[in-house]
Amino acid sequence: MKCTINRRAQFSASHRYWLSELSAAQNNRRFGPCTNAPGHGHNYVLYVSMTGDLDEYGMVLNLSDVKQVIKQEVTAQLDFSYLNDVWPEFQHTLPTTEYLAKVIWDRLAPHLPLVNIQLFEHPELWSDYSGNHMEAFLTVSTHFSAAHRLASPRLSYEENCEIYGKCARPHGHGHNYHLEVSVKGQIDPRTGMLVDLAALQAAIDEHVVEPFDHTFLNKDIPYFAEVVPTAENIAVHIRDLLQGPIAALGASLHRVKLIESPNNSAEVYASAPLEGTLPTSTPELAAV
């Protein structure tokens, strides 16, 4: 019987975004504060996912052995390092989150039956890599606060209450929504990026966060005048709003996940998800 296991590890390291062929002004326009010397640091959190058959002892792999491999091949070398200098892979390609995830895969793959590498640069930015050449996933998380009422304008108050319960009350109720947007693309062999991160964050802010934040969705967002703003419908609408702007940045929207509360979430894909391409939840976030 096949089973997937996950091992968590962490390391602290610094890096700098700077391309020698660009002027200081060009680097600053492209990478902003990330160009500042001598660099900046992160507490990286790494999840290594492996798959295999259960052995007679009920294990896919001995996790003590897995721990030692990850330490020897990755964390002992990267912890308290300056990433730009520590590995030869970063002499030509910048150590972005997505490229670092790929390089970690390449270094662990000869030793472990990998299915995914997930690397958190911080809790609101992480990358997934599954061994597909230079293709990777990048996820940005953000939030907005909004009120809504679950009620169809075509039904009576009594009918809505029967379907939606307390959520149909006429004055609505609010949530602090947590939003995850995952994009897919090819890692640039020079910049290490699959998409301009600042531009991606700006697109999410422009098309979703700013229009939705501190609104009554039913009344302030025209789409929800006729569509009931369930978490599912909100996620679908956000997907539709973001597909075009993200394509214009040279990437593809992969998934939108909307966490309405610690107990409720919804996620939708831009297309049917491929098995094994990206975990449907993040170990770092338990609100699913």
Q: Is 87 helix (H, G, I), strand (E, B) or coil?
A: coil
Active-site position among 98, 121, 260, 267:
260
Q: Which of left, alpha, beta for 42 (phi over 0: left; psi -120 to 50: alpha)?
A: beta
Match 């929504």 to its residue by tokens.
177
Q: Is 10 helix (H, G, I), strand (E, B) or coil?
A: strand
**Quick one: which of 139, 114, 133 has its CA closest to 47?**
114
What is the DSSP track for 12-64? Answer: EEEE----TTS-HHHHHHHHGGGG-TT-EEEEEEEEEEEEEE--TTS-SS-HH
Active-site position among 111, 124, 135, 167:
167
Q: Element (H or E) spanning 78, and its range?
A: helix 76-78
For the chain, the 3-state helix, strand and coil shares in percent, each to the nearest 5, are 35, 30, 35
Q: Supply the DSSP symbol for 274.
A: P
Two tokens, residue 211:
């229009």
Q: Rounded to whole angstroms, how far apart are CA atoms 51 and 86?
A: 29
Q: Rounded to whole angstroms, how far apart are CA atoms 130 and 146?
A: 35
Phi, psi angle pair for 275, to nearest 5°: -60, 130
Our answer to whether residue 161 is catalytic in this structure is: no
Our answer to whether residue 167 is catalytic in this structure is: yes
Q: Supply the DSSP symbol for 230.
A: -
Our answer to whether residue 214 is catalytic in this structure is: yes
Report, as residue numbers or ranges, the catalytic residues: 167, 214, 260
